[in-house]
Amino acid sequence: MANIIITGCSSGIGFATAVMLAKNKHVVFATMRHPSQHQELQDIADNKNLPIIILPLDVTKDNSIKNAISQVLFYTDKIDVLVNNAGIGTLGSIEELPIEDFIEQMDTNFIGTVRCTKAVLPHMRKKKGGCIINISSVGGKLFNYFNAPYSASKAAVEAFSECLAMEVRPFGIRVAVVEPGVIDTPLQDKCKSRIGETSYPNLERSIAFFSAARDHHVPPEVVAETILQIVNGESATFRNPTGPDSKPLLGFRASMSDEDWIAGADIDDQTWISMMEGMQLDVRKYLTRL
């Protein structure tokens, strides 16, 4: 049984992970910005008698993190696992997205991970053990147009995690990265472009890709299962691609040179549609310009 802190538990991967870990007898401190606005997790914990304690935590605020960690240590004298899951995203061109989108996503997805990690490290280091699981994304390794803020933030998580893993290894602390593909979560709704008019017609392709990929309805429990395997010591790998499209997407990108990957932005719609159909993605119905 481990004592586990998870960020971003109001929905999606964080929610599913909190429930799955608790069902497997781990004590879960499920955190989110506004617990009073999200009663469903508490109801499940109460109805199923699960060891889930819900706490407020905003990963963009140092005091909020400090207060949450203090509350966790009030309940227990040991933090075994931190799951840095909280994340946001949107789609749009670099030119047209407001600079605030870049700042917000970097602050939440990357700096939030740094803040929470720094908050638990002194405790784990003194205890000579622990595990930090950072939720990255295929988008942190595969960089595609109209996804710059999100991909940049997740690429930062990838680099940070590898540096961290080397630094804390002498203290018996493990670091693992989880790289989901497209998962059917509310984040995908939030990733829809907020731009009503754009000078970049291929933005529609990006939206169509995520819409078609979500049609496969890969549930967040798939990611939760990977996290459970890491927590239980059943997976010892550093990077953990997760979901049916994760490894194929990463393999597809690795098979191409940087120049060919970038040049792919110039292919015509029919060629792109055929390429997507080869990946079992029905993007045609989401392209209004055809």
pLDDT digits (tens, 9 = 90+) for 261-284: 999 999 999 999 998 998 888 999
Q: Which domains does the chain have, with CATH numbers?
A: 3-200+218-246 (3.40.50.720)
- Name the residue with higher pLDDT: 7 or 191: 7
Q: Which residues have CB under 8 Å from 155's CB, separation 6+? A: 140, 141, 143
Q: Is 70 among the residues known to form the active site? A: no
pLDDT in tens, 120-177: 999 999 999 999 999 999 999 999 999 999 999 999 999 999 999 999 999 999 999 9
Q: What is the pLDDT of residue 189?
A: 61
pLDDT digits (tens, 9 = 90+) for 56-80: 999 999 999 999 999 999 999 999 9
Catalytic residue among 136, 151, 153, 206: 136
Do residues 108 and 190 lie in contact, with contact meaning Cβ atoms separated by under 8 Å?
A: no
Predicted confidence (pLDDT) at residue 196 exceeds the cutoff of 80: no
* CA angle in degrees (0–180, nearest 5) for 161-164-165: 85
Is 154 one of the annotated active-site residues of the chain? yes
The answer to whether 193 is a known catalytic residue is: no
15-70, pLDDT tens digit by residue? 999 999 999 999 999 999 999 888 999 999 999 999 999 999 999 999 999 999 99
Give residue 215's pLDDT band: very low, low, confident or very high (50, 70, 90): confident
Active-site residue identified among 10, 153, 161, 206: 10
Q: From the candidates 137, 141, 150, 153, which is the catalytic residue?
A: 150
For the question of residue 93 being annotated catalytic, the response is: no
pTM of the model: 0.94
Mean pLDDT, the chain, integer: 93
Nearest residue to 84 via CA among 124, 54, 114, 61: 114
Percent of the chain at pLDDT above 90?
80
> Longest C-alpha distance within the chain, in Å?
61
Residue 47: closest CA among 67, 17, 22: 22
H or E element that contains 131:
strand 130-135
Candidate list 137, 141, 151, 154, residue with the active-site label: 154
**How far is the C-alpha of 288 from the C-alpha of 285, rounded, in Å?**
8
Instruction: Give the residue-averaged pLDDT of 101-119.
Output: 98
